Amino acid sequence: MPVAMSVECSASAEITSLPLCSADEIFSSCISAVVVAPHPDDETLGCGGAIALLCQRHIPVQVLVMSDGTQSHPQSQAYPAERLKKVRESEALNALSLLGVAAKNVIFYGWPDTDVPHPGEPNFEQAVTRCDRDLRRFSPSVIFVPWQGDQHCDHQATWKIVHRCVNDWQQPPRLLAYSIWGSREAGLGALPDQTTGWRLDIRSVQTLKRQAALAHQSQTTDLISDDPNGFRLTPAMLNNLIQPWETYLEVS
């Protein structure tokens, strides 16, 4: 399809040379999975294809969303923080429903956007305790987590919280890192140094992933029109993030 062709040409040759794996190869021994997202929409943009493929195989998927996402339009009068929080949660639930995840399997922690706690900050231990409790309750075979090098403080904090949790497990699950802001244009521009990775073939659900991404209307449309500096996922960003594959980094 034309979108896939244009995206593939703009992708890093290093990324396109990574092994392309099928869902059957990757998830053959997976019993359950947890996707940890820094903001509502990261679950879809980073792992939407994997979520859909897991759900099609009747493998349970739980989603933990760390922040409330309200800093996307901080100057909006029509959508103050409390209203925007509800909008973004609703959008995430709609997107995940399209991908196959029921609302009962989604938890919103509601940390303030851009203020997900880092190590040494007052709420970090509380965040670790909450996250660890839910991860242990779900007992996932695989945890999808944002890449520690993503260029956003909440993505980095989310990585640190999850990494701290599983470090204390005797038998930690497989950690797969995804990148949203690895490059300025979104997505992973090149394989980071000292990392290994591979690509998950999501061609069969690529259109579904795009539909789910577009369910986040506050981020992809002019729904919120009274904040001239508000965030917007441009078509170019979406094309970079919705390719025929998803790139994952193996975390030891």
**Residues 189-209: tens digit of each pLDDT:** 888 888 899 999 999 999 999
Length of the chain: 252
Tell me the helix, strand and coil percentages in the chain, rounded to 5: 45, 15, 40
Query: In this structure, how many other beta carbons lie within 10 angstroms of the beta carbon of residue 76?
Result: 18
Model confidence pLDDT, tens digit, residues 114-153: 999 999 999 999 999 999 999 999 999 999 999 999 999 9
Q: Find out whether 45 and 195 touch, Cβ atoms under 8 Å.
A: no
pLDDT for residue 3:
28
41 confidence band (pLDDT: 50, 70, 90): very high
Instruction: Give the residue with greater pLDDT, 192 vs 155.
Output: 155
Average pLDDT over residues 40-59: 98
Q: Which CATH class is domain 2-251?
A: alpha beta
Average pLDDT over residues 95-109: 98
Going by the DSSP 8-state scheme, the letter that residue 12 receives in this structure is -
Task: Classify residue 139 by burial, with Cβ atoms within 10 Å: 0-12, 13-18, 19+.
Answer: exposed
Q: Flag whether pLDDT at 188 surpasses 70.
A: yes
Domain boundaries, the chain: 2-251
Average pLDDT over residues 57-73: 98
For the chain, first and last CA: distance in Å?
A: 36
Going by the DSSP 8-state scheme, the letter that residue 180 receives in this structure is S
Residues ≥6 apart with Cβ < 8 Å to 148: 156, 159, 160, 163, 177
pLDDT for residue 4:
29
Model confidence pLDDT, tens digit, residues 71-95: 999 999 999 999 999 999 999 999 9
Percent of the residues in the chain that have a pLDDT greater than 90, as a whole number: 87
58 confidence band (pLDDT: 50, 70, 90): very high
Query: In terms of DSSP bridges, do strands 197-201 and 245-251 run parallel, antiparallel, or are they unpaired?
Result: antiparallel
Distances (CA, A) of 61 to 20, 85, 151, 236, 250: 22, 23, 26, 29, 19
Q: Is 42 left (phi over 0), alpha (psi -120 to 50) or beta?
A: alpha
Q: Flag whether pLDDT at 6 surpasses 60.
A: no
pLDDT for residue 174:
95
8 confidence band (pLDDT: 50, 70, 90): very low
Tell me the three state secondary structure of residue 191: coil
pLDDT for residue 12:
61
Q: Position 127: which residue type? A: A
